[in-house]
Chain A
Amino acid sequence: AQRVTQPEKLLSVFKGAPVELKCNYSYSGSPELFWYVQYSRQRLQLLLRHISRESIKGFTADLNKGETSFHLKKPFAQEEDSAMYYCALSGSDYKLSFGAGTTVTVRA
């Protein structure tokens, strides 16, 4: 069985401060890990995926297989980063399993 855990429901940071969203997973094989974001009144969209190893909107995420984690980080949060963030995992069957989500609020 595959499972994704996001321990923080809410995260509030000040503009310019670093932000880190935690994600832990359980999966017996080699998973694909993703971060999805949903801005207010917009559809859910892909933020980044570990296999591409790219930085999107200043966010990065490193897959740590030893700790089974895929934390999302940004060194300097911006107000436009306020959104709901979901960590997701896909196994060999293309199904995505999502965490419960973390709501990020960036305050001026």
Chain B
Amino acid sequence: DVKVTQSSRYLVKRTGEKVFLECVQDMDHENMFWYRQDPGLGLRLIYFSYDVKMKEKGDIPEGYSVSREKKERFSLILESASTNQTSMYLCASSHTDYGYTFGSGTRLTVV
């Protein structure tokens, strides 16, 4: 029944490492999104994509990049991880009717 899968539930990385967070959906959705979830701040949009090889910056894109080579897969890349990127990362996908389906999240700790 799982429709949006994030490859890792927990990750611990060192400062300066390049980090890849993977997200795969099996619902043939056009739209995919990456958010980070922090206490007291809610969910903040990092990047999103409306189609393959297409990407748009969200509200907090600094320090991140994304890749969408296939419709079902949307990867979030931390080029050089920093401690302020320690957070819960949520991937979501949607069709054009606004309904989002979320993954279970990846809790990233940067030490």
Contact = CB atoms under 8 A, between A and B. Distances in A.
Contact of A97 (B45, B98, B102): B45
Contact residues of A: prevailing secondary structure = strand
Using C-beta atoms within 8 Å of the partner chain, give the interface range for chain A: 20 to 34
Contacts of A6: 42
Contacts of B33: 95-96
Contact of B98 (A4, A32, A100): A32
Interface stretch (A14-22, A40-48, A54-62): A40-48
Nearest to B100: A96
Contact of A90 (B90, B98, B105): B98
Contact of A95 (B42, B58, B99, B103): B58
A98 interface: yes
A95 B100 contact: no
Contacts of A49: 98-99
Contacts of B45: 95-97
Interface centre among A49, A94, A97, A99 (most CB of B within 10 A): A94
B48 interface: yes
B94 interface: yes
Interface of B: 31, 33, 35, 40-45, 48, 50, 58, 90, 92, 94, 96, 98-100, 102-105
Interface of A: 4, 6, 9, 32, 34, 36, 43-46, 49, 86, 90, 94-101
